[in-house]
């Protein structure tokens, strides 16, 4: 039977309206160099209206893709709402992509306008000649000399407009946002999000049993706004009226610690590599981080040592989460179930270091090589597959979709085990597992164990070709800079031997200065594999 309920469309418009109507006094703070820009949700709403009027005058039509090339700041937030709420699609461009991939994405999405931070103009100038569909570049901040064609100033553009805008009636299945995946070899793949997906994800993210966002939170998305819509936090914060803190281009540990202290941040979110540096800084003392109630860590595995370290040393609980660009992005969170509070410390940390249970809204299963569902025994490995209302049905105009979806499920490419409590543990990306003889070795397990050594800052494990075993693991380690005596390989082997069988141990350990990072700050195994492809293992 149809028509039982009101025809209420789940779009970003009610999210925007709620932030403005109920929380006009709440603040949005953005860091620019040594100064903070501050305004309220009321100011924000007025400027979003001005932006929507300006876009209309520029001839933006429903469904047009509008690119952003920007750090996390209040203007980027205005685009997050102004563009989709007037009917177009906000396409966040990853500013750390190599030029050829950036050009590919803009051309593939057919972006009509690109809004760019003034500090990032030189990066965009390098590819502008190859961008086929862009009619205007709108520069945010002071405009200097540039070779970009057809430039406009953001402040001039919106300053000329009225704050009143007649928001059009939208369908919840209309496109609202767009993001390309960063981890793939070959060209990035596009995920186009509907209003409905973002609306439902906003509700899902806000539940107490997921991240439990509230009006009382001071939310600092350190995860870039071009990485899977900053994990949905800007939408949820606006809906609930949480104070927002944007770090801008300032992501150094000192900047983050300073913002946490001065703005009294309660909830921060980002990939693990960001927090390693913060951990080292906080150990030196001098910062008050007592306001933090949770730090969401995802994008790569949060090592257990990090989860324990932040909690025991600084009283900062880490909430480990797993998600994907294709999933708007939240999939699982590792909250404890109530009865686990009674469990011994060791077991509780072991649960929290897993990627967690499916959030309400997401269903998941593991599928083995024969296409059968794996048992939830915490041992059997399979590919993680997911389905739910905020997971894309196909990549945007991309024939690679064919292999990525199966009977209504999305194949994540992550190899997992699922334990009897339903907690998922990522063993590896399919392509990162080490195939040694007939056995698989998890690089994630080894990395987490190595990073538990107090002298280790970063560690990555990759497969290296081996004449007898096909592949064997090689560990690449970065030690802390302040060590009195250098860390020896033997110390790492001694520690690993307590936990792993001999055949699982890396065949060698090399020390380097820094692990290369991907455009969203994850350890870049592609680069490491290329760097060490001819590495001669002592066992080979």
**CB-count burial class (<10 Å; 0-12, 13-18, 19+) for 484:** exposed
Copy the structure tokens of residue 389: 């209302």
For the window 146-175, what string marks contact with ligand AMP as x by the rule CB under 6 A?
A: ------------------------------
Residue number closest to ligand AMP, CB atom: 325
| Residue 412 sits in the site that holds ligand AMP (CB under 6 A) | yes
Is 181 a catalytic site residue?
yes
Name the nearest CA neighbour of 165 among 361, 13, 276, 392. Answer: 13
Q: Is 15 left (phi over 0), alpha (psi -120 to 50) or beta?
A: alpha
- 298 contributes a contact to ligand AMP by CB under 6 A: yes
Cα–Cα distance for residue pair 384/37, rounded to 1 Å: 42
Residue among 40, 421, 435, 489 flagged as catalytic: 435
31 is annotated as an active-site residue: no
- Is 426 one of the binding residues for ligand AMP (CB under 6 A)? yes
Closest CA to 120 of 85, 68, 79: 68
x/- letters, 260..289, toward ligand AMP (CB under 6 A): ------------------------------
Tally of CB atoms within 10 A around 447: 26
- The verdict on 324 binding ligand AMP (CB under 6 A) reads yes
Task: Single out the segment in contact with ligand AMP by CB under 6 A; choices: 75-83, 100-108, 179-187, 338-346.
Answer: 179-187
- State the Cα–Cα distance between residues 252 and 232, nearest whole angstrom: 23
429 part of the interface to ligand AMP, by CB under 6 A: yes
The least distance separating ligand AMP from the CB of residue 455, rounded to whole angstroms, comes to 24
Q: Give CA–CA dist 411/87, Å, rounded.
A: 30
For β-strands 190-194 and 175-180, DSSP reports them as antiparallel
Q: Which residue has 């907690």 as its token pair? A: 423
Rounded CA separation 421/26 (Å): 40
- Taking the complex as a whole, the smallest distance from the CB of residue 535 to ligand AMP amounts, in Å, to 24
Specify the residue, 182 or 335, whose C-beta has the smaller distance to ligand AMP. Answer: 182
Pick the closer one to ligand AMP by CB: 73 or 425. Answer: 425
Chosen residue from 30, 101, 325, 504 binding ligand AMP by CB under 6 A: 325
For residue 182, state whether it binds ligand AMP (rule: CB under 6 A): yes
Which range binds ligand AMP by CB under 6 A, 48-56, 317-325, 371-379, 490-498?
A: 317-325
- The neighbour count for residue 201, using CB atoms within 10 Å, is 28
* Contacts to ligand AMP from residues 211-250, by CB under 6 A: 228
Site string for ligand AMP, 520-539 (x = CB under 6 A): x-------------------
Q: DSSP assignment, residue 259?
A: H
Strands 218-221 and 267-270: parallel
By CB under 6 A, residue 300 contacts ligand AMP = yes
Cβ nearer to ligand AMP, comparing 429 with 480:
429
Annotation marks residue 447 as catalytic = no
- CB neighbours of 297 closer than 8 A, spacing ≥ 6? 269, 270, 271, 272, 275, 306, 307, 318, 319, 320, 321
Beta strands in 419-536 (DSSP E): 424-429, 434-436, 439-441, 456-466, 470-479, 508-511
Cα 162 to the center of its chain, rounded Å: 35
Binding mask 345-384 for ligand AMP (x = CB under 6 A): ----------x-----------------------------
Q: Which is nearer to ligand AMP, 293 or 352 (CB)?
A: 352
Of 440, 489, 517, 526, catalytic: 440
Catalytic residues: 181, 326, 435, 440
Binding site for ligand AMP (CB under 6 A): 181-183, 228, 298-301, 320-325, 355, 412, 414, 426, 429, 520
């Amino acid at each position: 039977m149809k028509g039982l309920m009101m025809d209420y469309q789940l779009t970003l418009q009610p999210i925007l309206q709620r932030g403005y109507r109920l929380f006009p006094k709440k603040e949005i703070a953005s860091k620019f160099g040594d100064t903070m820009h501050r305004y309220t949700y009321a100011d924000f709403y007025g400027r979003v209206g001005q932006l929507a009027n300006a876009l209309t005058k520029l001839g933006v039509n429903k469904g047009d893709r509008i690119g952003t090339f920007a750090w996390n700041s209040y203007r980027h937030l205005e685009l997050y709402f102004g563009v989709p709420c007037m009917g177009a699609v906000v396409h966040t461009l990853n500013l750390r992509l190599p030029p050829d991939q950036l050009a590919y994405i803009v051309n593939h999405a057919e972006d009509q306008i690109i809004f760019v931070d003034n500090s990032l103009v030189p990066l965009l100038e390098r590819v502008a000649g190859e961008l086929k569909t862009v009619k205007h570049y709108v520069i945010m901040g002071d405009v200097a000399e540039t070779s970009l064609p057809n430039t406009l100033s953001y402040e001039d553009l919106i300053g000329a407009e009225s704050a009143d805008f007649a928001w059009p009636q939208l369908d919840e299945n209309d496109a609202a946002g767009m993001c390309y995946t960063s981890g793939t070899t070959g060209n990035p793949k596009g995920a186009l999000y509907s209003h409905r997906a973002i609306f439902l994800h906003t509700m899902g993210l806000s539940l107490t049993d997921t991240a439990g966002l509230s009006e009382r939170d001071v939310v600092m998305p350190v995860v870039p706004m071009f990485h899977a819509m900053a994990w949905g936090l800007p939408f949820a914060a606006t809906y609930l009226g949480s104070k927002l803190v944007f770090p801008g281009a300032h992501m150094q540990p000192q900047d983050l610690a300073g913002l946490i202290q001065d703005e009294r941040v309660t909830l921060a979110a980002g990939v693990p590599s960001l927090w390693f540096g913060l951990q080292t800084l906080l150990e030196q003392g001098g910062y008050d981080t007592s306001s933090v109630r949770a730090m969401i860590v995802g994008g790569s595995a949060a090592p257990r040592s990090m989860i324990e370290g932040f909690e025991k040393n600084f009283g900062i609980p880490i909430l480990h989460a797993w998600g994907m660009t294709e999933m708007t992005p939240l999939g699982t969170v590792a909250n404890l179930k109530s009865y686990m509070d009674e469990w011994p410390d060791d077991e509780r940390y072991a649960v929290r270091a897993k990627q967690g249970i499916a959030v309400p809204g997401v269903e998941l299963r593991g599928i083995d090589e024969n296409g059968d569902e794996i048992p939830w025994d915490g041992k059997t490995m399979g590919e993680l597959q997911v389905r739910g209302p905020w997971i894309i049905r196909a990549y945007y105009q991309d024939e690679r979709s064919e292999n990525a979806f199966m009977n209504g499920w999305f194949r994540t490419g992550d190899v997992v085990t699922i334990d009897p409590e339903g907690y998922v543990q990522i063993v590896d990306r399919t392509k990162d597992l080490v195939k040694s003889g007939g056995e698989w070795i998890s690089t994630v397990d080894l990395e987490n164990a190595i990073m538990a050594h107090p002298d280790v800052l970063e560690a990555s494990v990759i497969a290296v070709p081996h004449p007898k075993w096909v592949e064997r693991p090689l560990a690449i380690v970065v030690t802390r800079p302040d060590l009195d005596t250098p860390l020896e390989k033997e110390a790492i082997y001694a520690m690993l031997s307590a936990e792993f069988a001999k055949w699982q141990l890396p065949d060698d350990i090399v020390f380097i200065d820094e692990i290369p990072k991907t455009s969203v700050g994850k350890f870049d195994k592609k680069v490491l594999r290329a760097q060490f492809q001819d590495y001669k293992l002592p066992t080979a």
